[in-house]
Amino acid sequence: MADGSNRSLKQILIFTDLDGSLLDEKTYDFDPALPALRLIHSLRIPLILVSSKTRAEIEFFRRRLSLDSPFIVENGGGIFFPTTFELPKDQPYERLNGYNAIVIGRPIREVLERVSKLKERFRFKGFSEMPPEEIASVTGLKLDEAILASKREFDEPIVLEDPLDNSETFCKKASELGLDCVPGGRFIHLFLGGDKGRAVEVSLTIYRQLRGPVFSIALGDSPNDISMLEVVDKAVLMQGKHCGHVNGLVHPDLIKTEGSGPGVWNKVILSFLADFV
Q: How far apart are CA 265 and CA 244, in angstroms?
A: 16
Torsion of CA 203, 206, 210, 212, to 10 degrees: 80
pLDDT at 6 over 60: no
**Quick one: average pLDDT of 62-71?**
96
pLDDT in tens, 201-239: 999 999 999 999 999 999 999 888 999 999 999 999 998
Q: How far apart are CA 230 and CA 254, in angstroms?
A: 10
Architecture of domain 4-105+194-276 in CATH? 3-Layer(aba) Sandwich (3.40)
The verdict on whether 180 is a catalytic residue reads no
Q: Do domains 4-105+194-276 and 108-191 have the same CATH topology?
A: no
pLDDT in tens, 45-65: 999 999 999 999 999 999 999
Of 17, 180, 221, 233, which one is the catalytic site residue?
Answer: 17
pLDDT at 242 over 70: no
CATH of domain 108-191: 3.30.980.20
Burial label for 89, CB within 10 Å (0-12, 13-18, 19+), is exposed
**Host H or E run for residue 74:** none
The domain segmentation of the chain, as residue ranges, is: 4-105+194-276, 108-191
Q: How far apart are CA 146 and CA 84, in angstroms?
A: 29
For the entire predicted model, the pTM comes to 0.92
Q: How far apart are CA 51 and CA 57, in angstroms?
A: 10
pLDDT at 7 over 80: no
Query: How many CA atoms lie less than 13 Å away from 86 in the CB half-sphere?
Result: 4
pLDDT at 195 over 50: yes
pLDDT at 240 over 90: no
Mean pLDDT, rounded, of the chain? 93
